[in-house]
Amino acid sequence: MQDETGSTAAVTLHAPSSATYAEIDASATALASILLPLTGAVLVRQRIKYVAVPDSPVSADNDTAIVRTGLFFFSTGTTTSDTGIMVPAVKDAIISTTEPTAGVGIDLTNSDVIAFEDAVIASGVTNPFGDAIEALFVAYLQSRV
């Protein structure tokens, strides 16, 4: 919701995580029609968010910093935009040890990297424009502070 000054605030309600997007969207639409006469602000955005957390707290494997990021670039076809995925605190084991990218490149033949590529493609992930990901073509280490 946005008021006259441009400031924004949200009305947050919960729904069972078993509810479908269509069910939640229909409920949100019904609510919005009732909500708007109750406020001087206007509707500018709606978000439906599904959240999952681990059953019990988990710990980091070691002291690798979160800023030690792996950047994975995927192609989506010859005429559509590539897309990048960041993975924080990447493991040493996937960093290339052979030149010319030793120490900075990510080994695309590593079995865990291949499993990640397979998972990305199988999951139906796309670039921001909805073009399906086809292949991982380059990945390297980057510090993002």
Partner 1 sequence: MALTNLPTASLKIDYRDASGSKGSSVFHIPYGTLASVAIAAADALSAALNALSDAAIDGYSITYAKTEDTPATPTVGSRVEEKGNFVWRTANGRTTRFSIPAVVDSILNARGSIDKSNALVLALAAVVTDVDLVFASADGSDITALLEAYQSFRTSSTRQLPTDR
Q: Tell me whether residue 50 or residue 79 sits nearer to partner 1 (CB atom).
A: 50
Alpha carbon distance 139, 107 (integer Å): 8
CB neighbour list of residue 65: distance below 8 Å, 6 or more residues apart: 89
CB neighbour list of residue 89: distance below 8 Å, 6 or more residues apart: 60, 64, 65, 66, 68, 69
Q: Tell me whether residue 94 or residue 96 sits nearer to partner 1 (CB atom).
A: 94
CB of 100 to partner 1, least distance (A): 22
What number of other Cβ atoms are within 10 A of residue 76's Cβ?
19
Q: Which of residues 71-110 bind partner 1 (CB under 8 A)?
A: 83, 85-91, 94
Count residues binding partner 1 (CB under 8 A): 83
Q: Is 136 in the site for partner 1 (CB under 8 A)?
A: no
Upstream peptide bond of 100 is cis (omega within 30 degrees of 0):
yes
Given candidates 52, 56, 78, 79, which one binds partner 1 under the rule CB under 8 A? 52
Given candidates 81, 97, 103, 115, which one binds partner 1 under the rule CB under 8 A? 115
